[in-house]
């Protein structure tokens, strides 16, 4: 018999994980975080909420921190899609609305639960940076690059500062300001994004549809 294992043996030994169970565990993590915060979250509580054993959980994530980091990545707003609307105003409007929506609802509750812990947890802080800040910087850079190529604006020396103009007001509004309910946040998300749009456009030298955006 050769040293090469049959495909059947290889499949049995490399059995893929159940994606649905992974999603259930990450959803349970979010629910427990929303109820108890990071300090009150335990792997036992997450496993019980998901209806699995703690052994099942630990086969996927080796610690509470690893589980929370996975949940951060899974439930952060998806800003990877970068639609080209044909104008800088349109690109930034979609980005702002996406970011506002990402800081409300389930992902907003997750971020609120983790921000305090991130102040003294480097791994978690890096995960939140990857979820909150890096995608916005990438999207802004892409929108600005297209706008420069179209001749809408002049090249910018520091695109990251423009991303900060998107992130800062959104975080202040939705994560640091007390609101009566998540429902109010969700309803206010698009309006907040649209009110912020003219300021971001002026910062990059663009114009809004009314023609009064940008600096002379």
CATH of the domain at 83: 1.10.357.10
How far lies 163's CA from each of 14, 133, 135, 187, 199, in Å? 42, 8, 9, 23, 12
* Whether residue 163 sits in one domain with residue 188: yes
CATH of the domain at 35: 1.10.10.60
* Whether residue 98 sits in one domain with residue 44: no
C-alpha to C-alpha distance for 131 and 118, rounded to whole angstroms: 13
From 29, 53, 72, give the residue that closes a domain.
Answer: 72
Tally of domains in the chain: 2
* Whether residue 105 sits in one domain with residue 176: yes
From the list 62, 58, 74, 61, the residue with the least C-alpha distance to 127 is: 74
Q: Which residues contact 86 (CB under 8 A, 6 or more apart)?
A: none
* Whether residue 158 sits in one domain with residue 187: yes
* Whether residue 85 sits in one domain with residue 55: no
Q: Which domain holds residue 59?
A: 14-72
pLDDT of residue 81: 63
* Whether residue 24 sits in one domain with residue 113: no
* Whether residue 197 sits in one domain with residue 123: yes
> Could you state, in chain order, the average pLDDT of each consecutive group of 10 residues for the chain (216 residues)?
46 59 89 87 94 93 88 65 87 91 77 82 84 84 93 91 88 78 70 93 79 38
pLDDT of residue 130: 80
* Whether residue 65 sits in one domain with residue 80: no
Q: Tell me the whole-structure pTM to 2 decimals.
A: 0.72
* Whether residue 66 sits in one domain with residue 85: no
3-state helix, strand, coil in the chain (%, to 5): 70, 0, 30
From 40, 72, 104, give the residue that closes a domain.
Answer: 72
* Whether residue 188 sits in one domain with residue 96: yes
């Amino acid at each position: 018999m050769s040293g090469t294992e049959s495909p059947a043996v290889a499949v049995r030994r490399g059995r893929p994980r159940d994606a649905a169970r992974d999603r259930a565990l990450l959803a349970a993590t979010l629910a427990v975080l929303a109820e108890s915060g990071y300090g009150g979250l335990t792997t036992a509580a997450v496993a019980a909420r998901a209806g699995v054993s703690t052994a099942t959980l630990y086969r996927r994530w080796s610690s509470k921190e690893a589980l929370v980091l996975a949940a951060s990545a899974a439930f952060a707003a998806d800003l990877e899609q970068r639609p080209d609307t044909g104008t800088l105003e349109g690109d930034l409007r979609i980005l702002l609305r996406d970011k506002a929506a990402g800081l409300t609802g389930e992902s907003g509750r997750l971020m609120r639960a983790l921000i305090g812990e991130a102040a003294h947890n480097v791994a978690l802080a890096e995960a939140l940076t990857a979820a909150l800040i890096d995608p916005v910087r990438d999207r802004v850079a892409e929108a600005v690059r297209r706008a420069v190529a179209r001749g809408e604006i002049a090249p910018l020396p520091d695109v990251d500062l423009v991303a900060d103009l998107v992130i800062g007001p959104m975080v202040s509004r939705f994560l640091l300001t007390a609101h009566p309910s998540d429902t109010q946040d969700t309803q206010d998300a698009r309006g907040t994004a649209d009110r912020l749009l003219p300021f971001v456009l002026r910062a990059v030298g663009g114009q809004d549809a009314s023609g009064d955006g940008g600096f002379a």
